[in-house]
C-alpha cells in the first residue's frame, strides 16, 4: 500500500484548551495518533539507510541520500555531522517527525557503534517502541544483543527487520531460530521472503497470503514499485521459489509463530519483516506495521513510584542536548520527549532540577538538521527547545502539579585522557567548548585542584568519543586540543571521607565530575579489588556500567 505523508506540522484540535473534559479528550486523541520509536542495531546494519527509506516512503523527501559507492555517497537526512558524512556512520542520535496515514511518526535514529552506547541508551528512554535491524548475513551481533537486552529491561516492544536480503546471507529459518535462542523472544514473521538471500524477489504476506513483488530502482534512490499478486499468480511467476516460501510459512504456522498483539506489547514476541533498505524493498510494510501495531504513548512512571497521566498538565524530560546544528547562530538545542498534557510555544515551564522557570519562546520540530517552528505538540512528540543553556540531560519540565521523571543513568567510562589547549591564547574558547561537550554528554569531564582548569580529564565509554570531542573543539569552538592518554580503565564512585585514602593508593587518582560527585580511577580491576580487600571501610561503589550488557 502506498500512502502519501507529509512533514508533521500538527495543528491543534478544535478542543477548548482550558482545563476540562474537552481538553483532556483532545490530549488523549492526539496521543493516540503518535508512534514514537527508535531504530537500533549493530554498526553497518543499515539504520541510517532505513531511516532515509522510511522518510522517502512517507514522501517527506524526494530522493534517498544513500547511494551505491563512496564516490557518489550523499549524506542522509539523519546523518548531518561532518564526521558522519565522512565516515558513513551515525555518531549522534537524530530526530525526524512526519505524518503517515492518520498517524504522526516520531522517528529517532541512533548511533550503532558501541562507543556511543550511552547516547543510544538515552534515546531508548524517550521511545515507546523500537525497530531492530539485523543484517541478513551476520545475524545477531554483539551490539544487537546488548540493545535487545536494554529494550527488554525497559519493557520496550521490538519489531525486527531482517535487512539486506538482496545480498547473500543466512537461511531465513536459521535466522528465526537464532533470534529465538539468543534473545528469548518468539519471532512472529509478518512477511516471508520469496527467493533466498541475495535473490530477493518479494515477500509473502502471511496476513492475507498475497505476494508483494518488488522492482528495483536505480541505486535505490526512489521508491521501488510494488505489485500485489494472488497466490496463483505468484506461483505461476516464481515457481519453486514461491512454493518453498509457502512451505516454510506452513512450518512457521505449525510452530505457533503467529503474531499476537498482547505478547508483542508485553515484550515476549517480536514481529519480523524482511527488507532491503538500500533498495527500498519492504519499507512501506514496516511503516504500516508501525502504525498498526506499535503502541501509542501511555502514562509515564515518575521518580516517586507513581505516574503522570497523559491528560495531566504538561510535562516532559530532556533526553539529549545538541549544539553546533546551526553554524550561523551557535545555538543549543535540547530534545525533550513530551509525556503529558499539551505543549504550547511560549509557555513558561518549571525545571524540576533547579525549580527555576524556563520560557519556551523558541520551539521547533526537527527533521535531521532542518527545523521549523511549532506552536503545539502532544504526548509522544519530540520537540527541540532552542537556546536551552539552562537545561541539561535528564531535566524534567512541567506545569501545574510538580513531577520529576527518573534520572538518566551515566555509564562508567573506560578511557581517560588529559585535554590541553594547543593555543593557550584561546583559553576562553577552550573552557567554553569543554563545558559545552560536558553538558551535552559527549564526554564526561573530570577535574581536580592538582590538574587545574587548564588540564581537565576527558572520560569516555569508547575511544571514538575522543575523536568527536577533538573534531568539535577544533571546528566548532576553534580551540584545537591535544589529548594525553591516562593509564586508567576503571572508574568507581567514592566520597569525601574516603577520597584522601583512595588517592594515596598506588596508581589511583580521585577526580570530581561537574555535579560534585567524586570518582576514583584505577589502572585495572585488580588494583580496585586489591584496595577493597586492604581497606573494606572505604567507599568504592560501582557506577552504572552494563546497561547494554
Task: Select the more confidently predicted residue: 53 or 349.
Answer: 349
pLDDT tens-place string over residues 65-77? 433 333 333 444 4
* Three state DSSP letters for 346-364: CCEEEECCCCCEEECCCEE
pLDDT at 412 over 70: yes
Kindly report which listed range (51-55, 166-170, 183-187) carries the lowest average pLDDT score.
51-55
Distance between CA 302 and CA 407 in Å, rounded?
10
Q: At what angle do helices 172-183 and 142-154 cross, to 10 degrees?
A: 50
Tell me if 44 is assigned to a ligand binding site: no
Kindly report which listed range (21-30, 193-202, 243-252) carries the lowest average pLDDT score.
21-30
Supply the pTM of this predicted model.
Answer: 0.79
Cα 437 to its chain centre, rounded Å, is 19
Residues 191, 316: contact at Cβ < 8 Å?
no
Distance between CA 123 and CA 441 in Å, rounded?
13
Provide the pLDDT for residue 64.
46
Tell me if 79 is assigned to a ligand binding site: no
pLDDT tens-place string over residues 364-398? 876 655 677 889 999 999 998 988 888 988 999 99
* Three state DSSP letters for 165-233: CCCCCCCHHHHHHHHHHHHCCEEEECEEEECCCCCCCEEEECCCCCEEEECCCHHHCCCCCEEEECHHH
Provide the pLDDT for residue 503.
95
Provide the pLDDT for residue 112.
54
Averaged pLDDT, 292-296: 98
Task: Select the more confidently predicted residue: 349 or 41.
Answer: 349
Tell me if 110 is assigned to a ligand binding site: yes
Provide the pLDDT for residue 128.
97
Averaged pLDDT, 401-428: 91
Provide the pLDDT for residue 14.
38
Q: What is the C-alpha end-to-end distance of the chain, expressed in Å?
A: 39
Provide the pLDDT for residue 98.
85
pLDDT at 141 over 60: yes
508-522 burial code (b ≥16 CB/10 A, e <16): bbbbbbeeeebbbbb
Provide the pLDDT for residue 546.
40
What strand order describes the sheet that includes 348-351? Answer: 357-359, 348-351, 396-398, 315-323, 332-340, 382-386, 363-367, 370-373
Place of cell 545480498: 167
Confidence tier at 16 by pLDDT (50, 70, 90): very low
- Mean per-residue pLDDT of the chain: 85
Confidence tier at 547 by pLDDT (50, 70, 90): very low
Distance between CA 402 and CA 321 in Å, rounded?
23
Averaged pLDDT, 164-191: 95
List of domains in the chain: 5-296 (3.40.50.300), 301-398 (2.40.30.10), 415-542 (3.30.70.3280)
Confidence tier at 331 by pLDDT (50, 70, 90): low
- For residue 410, give every residue at least 6 positions away whose Cβ sits within 8 Å of its Cβ, in sequence order, or none: 118, 444, 543, 544
Provide the pLDDT for residue 42.
79
Confidence tier at 346 by pLDDT (50, 70, 90): very high
Q: Can you list the alpha helix ranges (DSSP code H) found in 294-426?
A: none
pLDDT at 419 over 60: yes
Distance between CA 103 and CA 360 in Å, rounded?
25
Amino acid at each position: 500500500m502506498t500512502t502519501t505523508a507529509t512533514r508533521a506540522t500538527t495543528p491543534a484540535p478544535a478542543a477548548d484548551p482550558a482545563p476540562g473534559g474537552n481538553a483532556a479528550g483532545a490530549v488523549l486523541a492526539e496521543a493516540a495518533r503518535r508512534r514514537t520509536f527508535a531504530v537500533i542495531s549493530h554498526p553497518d546494519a543499515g539504520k541510517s539507510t532505513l531511516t532515509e527509506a522510511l522518510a522517502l516512503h512517507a514522501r517527506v523527501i524526494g530522493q534517498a541520500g544513500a547511494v551505491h559507492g563512496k564516490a557518489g555517497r550523499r549524506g542522509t537526512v539523519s546523518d548531518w555531522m561532518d564526521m558522519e558524512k565522512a565516515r558513513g556512520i551515525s555518531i549522534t542520535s537524530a530526530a525526524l517527525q512526519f505524518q503517515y496515514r492518520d498517524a504522526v511518526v516520531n522517528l529517532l535514529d541512533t548511533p550503532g557503534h558501541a562507543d556511543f552506547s550511552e547516547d543510544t541508551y538515552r534515546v531508548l528512554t524517550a521511545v515507546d517502541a523500537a525497530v531492530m535491524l539485523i543484517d541478513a548475513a551476520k545475524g545477531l551481533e554483539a551490539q544487537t544483543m546488548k540493545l535487545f537486552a536494554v529494550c527488554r529491561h525497559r519493557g520496550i516492544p521490538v519489531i525486527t527487520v531482517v535487512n539486506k536480503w538482496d545480498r547473500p546471507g543466512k537461511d531465513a529459518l536459521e535466522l528465526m531460530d537464532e533470534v529465538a535462542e539468543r534473545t528469548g523472544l518468539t519471532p512472529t514473521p509478518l512477511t516471508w521472503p520469496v527467493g533466498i538471500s541475495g535473490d530477493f524477489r518479494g515477500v509473502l504476506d502471511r496476513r492475507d497470503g498475497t505476494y508483494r513483488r518488488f522492482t528495483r530502482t536505480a541505486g535505490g534512490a526512489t521508491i521501488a514499485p510494488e505489485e500485489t499478486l494472488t497466490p496463483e499468480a505468484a506461483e505461476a511467476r516464481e515457481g519453486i521459489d514461491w512454493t518453498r516460501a509457502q512451505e516454510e510459512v506452513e512450518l512457521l504456522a505449525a510452530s505457533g509463530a503467529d503474531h499476537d498483539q498482547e505478547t508483542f506489547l508485553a515484550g515476549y514476541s517480536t514481529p519480523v519483516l524482511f527488507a532491503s533498505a538500500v533498495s527500498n524493498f519492504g519499507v512501506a510494510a514496516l511503516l504500516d506495521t508501525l502504525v498498526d501495531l506499535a503502541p501509542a504513548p501511555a502514562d509515564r512512571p515518575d521518580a516517586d513510584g507513581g505516574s503522570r497521566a497523559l491528560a495531566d498538565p504538561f510535562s516532559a524530560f530532556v533526553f539529549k542536548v545538541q549544539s553546533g546544528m546551526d553554524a550561523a547562530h551557535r545555538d543549543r538545542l535540547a530534545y525533550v520527549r513530551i509525556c503529558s498534557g499539551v505543549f504550547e510555544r511560549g509557555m513558561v515551564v518549571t525545571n524540576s532540577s533547579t525549580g527555576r522557570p524556563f520560557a519556551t519562546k523558541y520551539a521547533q520540530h526537527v527533521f535531521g538538521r532542518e527545523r521549523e517552528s511549532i506552536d503545539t505538540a502532544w504526548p509522544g512528540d519530540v520537540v527541540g527547545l532552542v537556546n536551552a543553556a539552562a537545561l541539561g540531560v535528564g531535566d524534567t519540565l512541567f506545569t501545574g502539579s510538580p513531577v520529576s521523571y527518573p534520572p538518566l543513568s551515566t555509564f562508567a567510562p573506560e578511557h581517560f585522557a588529559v585535554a590541553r589547549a594547543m593555543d593557550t591564547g584561546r583559553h576562553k574558547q577552550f573552557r567554553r567548548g569543554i563545558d559545552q561537550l560536558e553538558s551535552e554528554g559527549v564526554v564526561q569531564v573530570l577535574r581536580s585542584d592538582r590538574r587545574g582548569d587548564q588540564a581537565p580529564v576527558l572520560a569516555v565509554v569508547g575511544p571514538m568519543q575522543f575523536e568527536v570531542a577533538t573534531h568539535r573543539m577544533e571546528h566548532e569552538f576553534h580551540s584545537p586540543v591535544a589529548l594525553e592518554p591516562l593509564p586508567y580503565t576503571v572508574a568507581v564512585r567514592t566520597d569525601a571521607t574516603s577520597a584522601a585514602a583512595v588517592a594515596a593508593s598506588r596508581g589511583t587518582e580521585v577526580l570530581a565530575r561537574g555535579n560534585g560527585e567524586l570518582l576514583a580511577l584505577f589502572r585495572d580491576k585488580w588494583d580496585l579489588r586489591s584496595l577493597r580487600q586492604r581497606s573494606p571501610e572505604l567507599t568504592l561503589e560501582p557506577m552504572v556500567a552494563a546497561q547494554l550488557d
